[in-house]
């Protein structure tokens, strides 16, 4: 088992809010935060997509105020650290004071990579509140590695604890991430490094996995990959891949998928991650047999996702209904999951034979 030496930053409630015009409710925040915390995720970013102080007619009005989002996090998160994004000029120093008042552990201060000087006052002010300060270099690819390195030296001197490589347009290749990572390490062995990917050319997940292998300390993800533009690295898929690669990630993937289906899936206008697809991928189970899973899980009152997992350990190729019944009979009763998992999109008979 590989030791996990990095943190996952969930940005569902922040970057994900772009996809719904910043309309997450306090109830949405409570459900998503408590679900993530229950699964053991330690860093959760909340608030308007553009950060603290951004809600306006110009930038888009959030459903709630910063203060309301912060109070919700303070009231419902017991172990996870929470924080907000902050763009100098959009946010004020007083907004950082508000974050501190409501117990934010971290702040992510975002500037374009060529405008890092705008962040100095904000970094220094946040450090006075003893926050973990993350310098977020938006459009990182716009700078040469040498320019990037010079910016890192300045941010670290002002007090930044972590530097984010940010693929704002989702166009970076793994070798690009490596160049900027090496640029950071060429001037600092102490500052932590983060990676924030977007999925415009379909590389967010693979780039994030590559970043882990490089030694990046923080990886941003969101449930269902929900985020600005084509979205972020999908948290569910990232966890599955890490577990497959042997990392010690103590997340109950079935529970995570069901919570994501319940709390995030309704917001997804297209695409979306159905828990069934992911569990079939994890288990090596062919979707042509899903009607048998549906009928059997209803018959026994068991979680169909767990049934897929358990049956696939016995047979990944054929469907034996007698064996399926036997496997289902060994699972715990779980009526609630049956209302969450939707089989309506699955049909057909590609497999020629079902025994029993």
Over residues 29-33, mean pLDDT? 98
Q: Percent of the chain beyond pLDDT 70?
A: 96
Say how many C-beta atoms besides its own lie within 10 A of residue 23's C-beta.
14
CA proximity to 227, closest of 10, 18, 9, 43: 18
Measure Cα distances from 68 to 43, 46, 62, 348, 353 in Å.
19, 11, 11, 48, 56
Q: What is the pLDDT of residues 144-166, one digit of tens each?
A: 999 999 999 999 999 999 999 99
Over residues 289-318, mean pLDDT? 92
Over residues 24-53, mean pLDDT? 98
Domain ranges (residues) in the chain: 7-273, 284-355
According to DSSP, residue 333 is labeled: B
Q: Which of 27-41, 65-79, 329-343 has the lowest mean pLDDT?
A: 329-343
Distance, in Å, from the CA atom of 156 to the CA atom of 166, rounded to the nearest integer, reads: 17
175 and 206 Cβ atoms separated by less than 8 Å:
no
Over residues 1-24, mean pLDDT? 94
Number of helices and strands in the chain (H, E) = 14, 10
pLDDT at 212: 98
284 and 312 Cβ atoms separated by less than 8 Å:
yes
pLDDT at 87: 96
Global confidence as pTM: 0.88
Q: Give domain 7-273's CATH number out of 3.40.640.10, 3.90.79.10, 3.20.20.70, 3.40.50.300.
A: 3.20.20.70
pLDDT at 230: 87
pLDDT at 278: 85
pLDDT at 339: 77
């Amino acid at each position: 088992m590989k030791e996990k030496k990095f943190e996952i930053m969930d940005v569902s409630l922040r970057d994900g809010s772009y996809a719904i015009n910043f309309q997450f409710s306090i109830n949405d925040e409570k459900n998503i935060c408590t679900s993530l915390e229950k699964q053991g995720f330690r860093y959760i970013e909340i608030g308007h997509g553009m950060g603290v102080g951004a809600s306006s007619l110009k930038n888009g009005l959030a459903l709630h105020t910063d203060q309301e989002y912060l109070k919700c996090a303070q009231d419902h998160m017991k172990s996870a650290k929470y924080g907000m994004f902050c763009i100098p000029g959009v946010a004020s120093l007083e907004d950082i004071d508000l974050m501190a008042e409501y117990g934010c552990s971290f702040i992510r201060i975002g500037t374009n990579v060529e405008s890092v000087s705008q962040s100095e006052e904000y970094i220094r002010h946040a450090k006075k509140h003893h926050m973990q300060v993350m310098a977020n270099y938006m459009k990182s690819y716009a700078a040469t590695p040498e320019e990037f390195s010079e910016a890192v030296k300045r941010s670290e001197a002002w007090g930044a604890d972590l530097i984010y490589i940010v693929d704002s347009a989702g166009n970076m290749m793994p070798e690009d991430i490596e160049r900027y990572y090496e640029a950071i390490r060429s001037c600092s062995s102490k500052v932590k490094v983060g990676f924030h990917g977007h999925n415009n050319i379909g590389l967010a997940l693979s780039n994030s996995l590559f970043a882990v292998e490089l030694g990046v300390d923080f990886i941003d993800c969101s449930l269902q990959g929900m985020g600005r533009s084509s979205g972020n690295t999908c948290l569910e898929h990232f966890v599955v891949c890490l577990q497959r690669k042997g990392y010690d990630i103590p997340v109950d993937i079935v529970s995570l998928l069901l919570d994501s289906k319940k709390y995030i899936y309704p917001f997804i206008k297209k695409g979306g991650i159905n828990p069934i697809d992911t569990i079939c991928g994890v288990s090596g189970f062919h979707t042509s047999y899903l009607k048998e899973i549906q009928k059997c899980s209803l018959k026994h009152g068991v979680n169909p996702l767990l049934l897929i997992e358990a049956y696939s350990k016995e047979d990944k190729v054929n469907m034996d209904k007698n064996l399926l019944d036997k496997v289902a009979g060994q699972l715990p009763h779980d009526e609630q999951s049956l209302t969450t998992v939707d089989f309506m999109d699955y049909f057909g008979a590609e497999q020629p034979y079902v025994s029993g």
